[in-house]
Chains A and B, each alone.
Chain A
Amino acid sequence: MHRIAAPQQTLSEQARAHPATAPARVGFGLRAPHYDAILSHGLRCDFAEAISENFLSRGGRAFSVLERVRSDMPLALHGVSLSIGGMDPLSEPYLTELAGLATRIEAFSVSDHLCFGTFGGHYAHDLWPLPYTEEALRHVVQRVRTVQDRLGRRLLLENVSSYVEYRDSTLPEWEFLSEVVTRADAGLLLDLNNLYVNAKNHGFSWLTYLHALPKDRVQQIHLAGHSDAGGYLFDDHGSPVSAEVWQLYEESLSLFGALPTIIEWDERLPEVSVLEAEADRARVLANDRLARERQIQP
């Protein structure tokens, strides 16, 4: 087994090492329309997540925001352009810049999506689904190992929402995801909204999915909103977390504990206070779970 030593104790490891005493950690993603508010007032959350590509080799206001937030709280880096499942070679300049940024801000985690997003030297700027085959599995595992070696740390992979299924797929999504992170010794960033959207779009049980995941690999949670596009659910990150996804969150708390959790919001972005309220709701649920665990402990 190819093992990568984590460079520092991550928030998720703290949560695992001291499940009953570590406080729940909840935050949200940094978005440009909030930069002025962040520079003026900071953020009210436990940690924040930055989209890696928005800060690579970049100065000015974006980097000031990153430095300001980092001086107050831990930061997670979350990428959208790694294309871990793509056939194009991994971009060396991208990995160099990503490694530099992760070091510079002492990112407590580096994540990207289990998908492909490059084609013939071009970027799709989308998270295209992979066929769930043995060939794809071997390909992704090899590339995850390469990235982890290059970054000198464990990579977290997020399950993506999807609207198509390949006829050639031979594995269910949860099995493919579990096999990738286990064989590559990677972490899993579990996006519960994506899981719910896929369960509805492709007609599988989200409980089956959740219970099939390797518990020790799940290290972070994403929560977001979706919309009903008529005939399918669309993962647009443009509304509050739905009641069903909150239900999934409660189930995940009982399965995986109170892991670091990020609220994502991209479309129709509201004031920071709305994101803080969503984060508060997640924190209450997570802390309730922790309190119950403390009561159970002798």
Chain B
Amino acid sequence: MRYRILADKRLIPYLYLTPFILLFLGFTLFPLLYSLWMALHLPGESGSWLDMTFSGLANFRYVIEDDWFGVALHNTLWIALLAGLPQHLIAIPLASFLYRHSRRKNLFSLFFCFLPYLTSSVVIALVFNALFSRDYGLINQLLDTLWQLVHPGAPLQIDWYDAEHIRWLIALVVCWKHTGWNTLLYLSAMRNLNKDLFEAASLEGAGFWRQLVIVVIPGIKPVLLLALGLTLVGNLQLFDEAYLLTAGTGGSGQSGLTLMMYIFNLAFVEGDYALASAAAWLITVLLLLLLPIVKKVIRHE
């Protein structure tokens, strides 16, 4: 009897873990190794993805020398910065205000600010498509009205989908979607702030913005750095918004093409999984290079 229980207890964790281990091996570990293997091989004669010939780093060299990879890298970094920074510049004061004035009606602001984060990016892209339409879209009507106040008789019509503007539009949508998430993150970080510091600061005559700089930001610094890191890593993997707003084409002059779209096109439009895997591993290296920074931040915390 004693022995049976002992045997049971030893088996139980494996029993509990079996589904997880199978799924982890099948859909995480194996694909990771398989993609590395594919990145180092060229499709063989038969065209099968199991029978390939070893090619060393040829796939990586091809991707690095591909002009579109450079374009995609440039676009991605550009959008990552333009969408990433404003998120935090809005989220920190907003969270600070909601924290300082914890009134019931402020729940409305939190509600609407978080709603975009839950909404499907397809829905968001389609609605913004309608609002930013070139000819009679709401945004262009407003801009035109404002413009004509200053320059009467000179109509303004911005094509948000041309090579010059599409990245701004993508960045705006990404920023709009993720600000609420960051606000929530900062709000929960502010729970640990020392309330007395606010009292002291306001006795010294420091207003909202001054308190933000001298009390809030030093207090949430670890979370701030972590959130910036998460935003950067997330933005480097941007796909949905760019894909949807350019209708999958990358936009005119490919100025809305992101790294993830580049890989997607290599794999599922051109059908070259080996090149796509090589490109994916290049991005991984780029992300892993950022890792020491994130690690340092976490240790700091």
Q: Do these two chains interact? A: no
Chain B residues with a Cβ under 8 A of chain A: none
Chain A residues near B (Cβ < 8 Å): none
